Chain A
Amino acid sequence: GAGVSQSPSNKVTEKGKDVELRCDPISGHTALYWYRQSLGQGLEFLIYFQGNSAPDKSGLPSDRFSAERTGGSVSTLTIQRTQQEDSAVYLCASSPPGRADTQYFGPGTRLTVL
């Protein structure tokens, strides 16, 4: 079956521009996570959505970062006024009901801020 998909696969932007990254989770998965993978720094938790509950936004690094999940499915991560330190691979993962501890990751979006 279809896995988690993310778009675009690569995004190059100029400092100060806004970007939107999209995640399509596996159909039926209720939990959705966003992570940032920087070189040599592992995965950094950004935000977690579970069904209709309020998201856990505790990992968002600044108020320039926001995310939403519409209709309990597709999610968009928005970065406003991008900075060079935002350059990283942004990963999305989803989990099925009752198995929130088993995450299925997408291929990621590589963001480069010039």
Chain B
Amino acid sequence: AQSVAQPEDQVNVAEGNPLTVKCTYSVSGNPYLFWYVQYPNRGLQFLLKYITGDNLVKGSYGFEAEFNKSQTSFHLKKPSALVSDSALYFCAVRDPKGTYKYIFGTGTRLKVLA
């Protein structure tokens, strides 16, 4: 069965420091992977996706994620965190051989401290 795990409920990082939000998945074959962000009192917003090709994917707001097939991971990263990056981040996966049924992780709350 497909699954996504976000092992950290919360990540704290100082402003200006690099940040990483972790995601691992379990899908047979080659998955499609996604990151979404939910800012306070706002809807979920698409950040980036991995479909195929280069393992390093660049997305909105300076975020990037690296697909690692051997470790079945798709960690979200940013070289220098901003206070405004504080939000709830969701990783999601879809089996491209299946329907458009996405499996979302439970979310990681990122808090960037000034």
Contact = CB atoms under 8 A, between A and B. Distances in A.
B44 A101 contact: no
Interface in B86-114: 90, 92, 94, 99-107
A102 B103 contact: no
A19 B21 CA distance: 37
A58 B46 CA distance: 24
10 contacts: A42-B107, A43-B104, A45-B101, A56-B101, A59-B101, A91-B44, A101-B100, A103-B102, A104-B46, A105-B36
Interface residues of B, number: 22
The 6 lowest CB-CB distance pairs between A and B, nearest first, are A43-B104, A105-B44, A42-B106, A105-B43, A56-B99, A42-B104
Contacts, number: 58
B46 A48 contact: no
A108 B41 CA distance: 10
Interface of A: 3-4, 31, 33, 35, 40-45, 48, 50, 56, 58-59, 91, 93, 100-108
